[in-house]
């Protein structure tokens, strides 16, 4: 049995969908790449914004067995900051 990396099926599906967009409407490929760039930039910007705003509250350093502990709260905080950056860039706000 072949052991594929995680999300391999989704990478294949994404590639097939991009091929379909390129075949059906090649004019839309730059738009798709532009949107992909905005989502990626928003994710990176959100991550670095969280690191800059909270330099001593890194999720991996605060994790413990307590599900309500500071590590889990800092993961939620980081996810919300990244989400806000991605939404802000992709919605053009």
Q: 88 near 42, Cβ under 8 Å?
A: yes
* Alpha carbons 74 and 58: distance in angstroms, whole number: 7
Q: What is the pLDDT averaged over residues 11-27?
A: 94
The pLDDT assigned to 66 comes to: 66
What confidence score (pLDDT) does residue 67 get? 66
Measured CA to CA in angstroms, residue 21 lies from 15, 29, 33, 75, 76 at distances of 10, 7, 12, 35, 35
- pLDDT at residue 65, rounded to an integer: 65
pLDDT in tens, 23-69: 999 999 999 999 999 999 999 999 999 999 988 877 777 666 666 66
* pLDDT value of residue 47: 94
CA angle 47–51–56, rounded 5-degree value: 145
SS3 18: helix
């Amino acid at each position: 049995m072949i052991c594929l990396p995680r999300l391999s099926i989704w990478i294949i599906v994404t590639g097939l969908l991009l091929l379909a967009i390129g075949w059906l409407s090649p004019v839309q490929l730059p738009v798709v790449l532009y949107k992909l760039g905005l989502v990626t930039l928003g994710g990176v910007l959100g991550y670095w914004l969280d690191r800059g705003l909270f330099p001593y509250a890194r999720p991996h350093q605060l994790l413990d067995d307590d599900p309500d502990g500071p590590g889990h709260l800092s993961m939620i905080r980081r996810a919300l900051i990244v989400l806000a950056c991605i939404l802000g860039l992709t919605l053009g706000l």
